[in-house]
Chain A
């Protein structure tokens, strides 16, 4: 009996030390806010960037136009996918914006967004290539030009096909923002870390942070499931 009482007392005091003392829950809340802003702004940037890159790459492959842009897009993919995200974040903050006084938040958004864009580009490209060539032929045979056919016929189907992979990328991105602490941006992970260094107890802060990430991902999965359901109307 007393074992459980002791354990309970321990937990309560750990909880108090982690969240209540010195209003530490505010650290977590602000960290959560930063994480969400970075993740969603970067995801938006990544999707826009990825879409543009994928459009350039497939247009080049199918029509032979846009050669220079295609070469640039390939270079971008190689560099971004060939180097660690953390190094890209550090280079963005300490090298590219090293001599400028700039807020850390937009730097993190840019670093993660540019990183994610490379992966999203390939996701979109695979989606576009997954549409049977007959769809483009049918659209063109009706007199639509390449751009009209792409926007009206190919892309709507492609986006539907890549939604699971795109959701996956957003989940990965959300968790990847946990390295923001390396440029001293106080995201959720950093908040847990700060609390750990104050309380000298690692268990409660880190487990709490893990649970919050898990809940965020669960919410994302729900949202994605809903969107897939909406887009599945045209299936049998």
Chain B
């Protein structure tokens, strides 16, 4: 478990400070990330928690450059993440979004097969076979040929996870995967993620589900004010919080 898969050094993200029409000079700036250092190892299941607006989603989105960092370096499997080979790196770094973002003009199966076939990672037959396997795994084999809009939120999110898995990623980033779901659908998605965690895939999960963090992850990271305040195993962090901010946060959550 000492195989380093992601290495982040001094990661900074500042919004604003651009020339924009309608503004004199530059737009007002907001420092969201103020220097994040962290190493993620292969097989880690990391939960990122923190009050809203603390930068945990921004941090996750910086990892695959959906947000462009304004400072610091990110290395993924030894290669520095930058614009030149970002598309290549993203193939190995899947992402699951809060609002699923399935492609509504494609059937469920097409959603799963599109990227691997288009990027020539798999033939059409291989992709189709893999899609069938994944649909069986997420328990939605009967939905292969329907369009996403006819599915419930929980089903859509399970398809979105299958879509990320269809690329055979080494890491999956989860950006609040259950926050947009009705309460009764949260369970099915968490159960799938839990099962996934046991397969040994590396997962980074931004979440407000403290129960999930406590039960499934091997590291919980508490972010506040744009820096990592705590990075501990869940038992330690939840039962014996030292940081006063974390104490305050947990008292509100639990």
Contact = CB atoms under 8 A, between A and B. Distances in A.
Contact of A137 (B66, B149, B150, B164): B66
Contacts of A78: none
B164 to A, nearest CB: 8
Interface in B99-150: 99, 101-106, 114-115, 118-119, 147, 149-150
A140 B90 contact: yes
A134 B167 contact: no
27 contacts: A132-B99, A134-B97, A135-B101, A137-B97, A138-B97, A138-B103, A140-B66, A140-B87, A140-B90, A141-B66, A141-B94, A141-B97, A142-B90, A142-B91, A142-B94, A142-B119, A142-B164, A142-B167, A143-B115, A143-B167, A145-B87, A156-B105, A234-B104, A234-B105, A234-B106, A235-B147, A236-B149
B252 interface: no
A234 B64 contact: no
A152 interface: yes
A143 B149 contact: no
A184 B80 CA distance: 66
A141 B150 CA distance: 24
B88 interface: yes
Nearest to B103: A153
Q: How large is the interface on A (under 10, 10 to 19, 20 to 34, 35 or more residues)?
A: 20 to 34
A144 B95 CA distance: 13
Contacts, number: 67
Contacts of B87: 140, 143-145
A67 to B, nearest CB: 14
A143 B91 contact: yes
Interface in A140-163: 140-145, 148, 152-153, 156-157, 160
Interface in A120-141: 132, 134-135, 137-141
A101 interface: no
A233 interface: yes
Contacts of A153: 103
Contacts of B90: 140-143
A152 B113 CA distance: 13
Contact of B149 (A142, A145, A235): A235
Interface string A94-138: 000000000000000000000000000000000000001011011
Which 6 pairs across A and B sit closest by C-beta, in order of nearness?
Answer: A138-B101, A143-B91, A142-B115, A141-B95, A134-B101, A234-B147
Q: How large is the interface on B (under 10, 10 to 19, 20 to 34, 35 or more residues)?
A: 20 to 34
B239 to A, nearest CB: 35
A108 B88 CA distance: 49
Contact of B104 (A144, A145, A157): A157
Given A143-B88, A234-B105, 11 more contacts: A132-B99, A134-B97, A140-B66, A141-B66, A141-B94, A142-B91, A143-B115, A143-B119, A143-B167, A152-B114, A157-B104
- Residue of B94, B115, B149 ringed by the most chain A CB atoms within 10 A: B115
Contact of B118 (A140, A141, A144, A235): A144
Contacts of A145: 87
B163 interface: yes
A142 B95 CA distance: 8
Interface in B56-89: 64, 66, 87-88
Given A143-B119, A236-B150, A134 B99 contact: yes
B128 to A, nearest CB: 17
Given A137-B66, A156-B105, A234-B104, A142 B163 contact: yes
